[in-house]
Amino acid sequence: MVKITLKTTSLKMAIVIPKISINPDLCIGCGICGEICPFGIPTQNEDGKFEIYEPERCTECSACKRNCPTMAIMLQEQKGCGCLWNARYVAKNPQNNSCCG
């Protein structure tokens, strides 16, 4: 989670941004994010779109963000091996392994 503090001469306001969220205006409810997430964090709501109910469980692997066809997922990515960036492709083509073996 990122905390941003805005300071002006007359107003001080803190804004807390979750480390992951899904823009409901861009989500088309395809379910790729829920399928790809190793922890099943994206959950379908009653409208058929996906939401993040427990953002603290996210490891910021970016698999959901990199596989979202509408770029609806907003994520504060961490740098790492990035082996899940093409998780959807790897899942559909098992002969291709990720960099983690």
User: In tens digits, what is the pLDDT along the chain, a chain of 101 residues?
Assistant: 556 666 666 777 777 677 899 999 999 999 999 998 888 899 999 999 999 999 888 888 888 998 999 999 998 766 555 556 566 666 666 665 544 44
What CATH code is carried by the domain that includes residue 41? 3.30.70.20
For residues 62 and 81, the answer to whether their CB atoms sit within 8 Å is no
Q: Is residue 9 part of a domain?
A: no
Host domain of residue 54: 19-92
Q: Is residue 50 part of a domain?
A: yes
In a domain, 6, yes or no: no
DSSP for 8-67? Answer: -SS-EEEEEE-SEEE-TTT-----HHHHH-TT--EEE-TTS-EEES-GGG-----HHHHH
Is residue 84 assigned to a domain?
yes
Q: Is residue 61 part of a domain?
A: yes
Q: How many domains does the chain have?
A: 1
Is 2 a domain residue?
Answer: no
Domain contains 83: yes
End-to-end C-alpha distance for the chain, whole angstroms: 30
